[in-house]
Structures are given as C-alpha cells and as structure tokens.
Amino acid sequence: MNCSENNCSSCIFDILKKILVLQKQDFSCENYVGCDKPFLGPSLNTVCYNTRPIQLYICSTGTRWTFDYTLEDGTTGTSSVLRVEALDDCCCTCRILYLDDTTNQYLSTNQFVTIDLKCCGAIRCLNDINVDLC
C-alpha cells in the first residue's frame, strides 16, 4: 500500500480526536475498554490519569513509528510511545514519551512530532497514565 495514495484514515483520526478530548476534560460514562474507552484510568472512580499513550504504525510497512529524543540532561534515546497533543486535518501533533528504566513508568519529553495520518495504518493504545507535562 502506498501511503501517499491513502486518504486520511477517518477511524484513526476519530480515535485520536476522542483521546484528545478525554485528555483535556473529564467524562463519566459507562465501562468500556480499548482505545474508545470514554474516560482515562482503569475505572470511573480514578481521576489521576491525564494521558492515553499510543503507538502508531506505518501503513506501508506495518512497523511502529519511532522517534529520537534528547532529555535536558543530554540523555538520548528512541521511543515509539506518544501522547496526542493536537489534531489538524490529517496531521497529528504528539509529544514523545519515554520509559524510565528506574521507575518503569512513561515520562514526557518536551519534544514533539507531527505525523501525517495518511501514512498511519494502525493505532495501539496503552494503559492510561499520568505524566508531568512541564
């Protein structure tokens, strides 16, 4: 499949839009699972989550998008875990998250990437988390 021939994937866009709305405000709804769960956290009573981490897959290869990052202390790495920050037409701006080896938790970077959703073939949602967005 040639990504440049794809239209913007409406199902992925719709899921990312829902995730973005969830991260910006609080909902109380029925119990759901997966990417479409209409609240953050493992249950409705949990309010300490502000992020639904995602991984996006390249449509032409099926591999995960990965991005290099550099932390303020100079540490560098590569991550495929992202936080949706904005949507504009078929473009998604995401914050790069990384796994802290000492705490085994995802932390945020101050580095962002913009992805053309025409090149995304799949999305994977990870468990909801709380990240510092400074």
Residue with tokens 């499949």: 1
Is residue 87 domain-resident? yes
Is residue 130 domain-resident? no
Residue ranges of the chain whose pLDDT lies below 50:
1-2, 4, 26-31
Q: Residue 29 and residue 31: Cα distance in Å, rounded?
A: 7
118: left (phi over 0), alpha (psi -120 to 50) or beta: alpha
33 CA to centre of own chain: 16
Question: What pLDDT score does 105 carry?
Answer: 94
Is residue 132 domain-resident? no
Is residue 86 domain-resident? yes
Question: What pLDDT score does 2 carry?
Answer: 46
Q: Residue 81 and residue 83: Cα distance in Å, rounded?
A: 7
Question: What pLDDT score does 53 carry?
Answer: 97
Is residue 134 domain-resident? no
Burial status of residue 129 (CB atoms within 10 A of its CB: 0-12, 13-18, 19 or more): buried
Query: How many domains is the chain partitioned into structurally?
Result: 1
Is residue 77 domain-resident? yes
Question: What pLDDT score does 89 carry?
Answer: 85
Is residue 9 domain-resident? yes
Owning domain of residue 116? 3-125
Which contacts of 44-48 are long-range, i.e. CB under 8 A and separated by 24 or more positions? Answer: 48/130
Q: Residue 115 and residue 112: Cα distance in Å, rounded?
A: 10
Is residue 131 domain-resident? no
Question: What pLDDT score does 46 carry?
Answer: 55
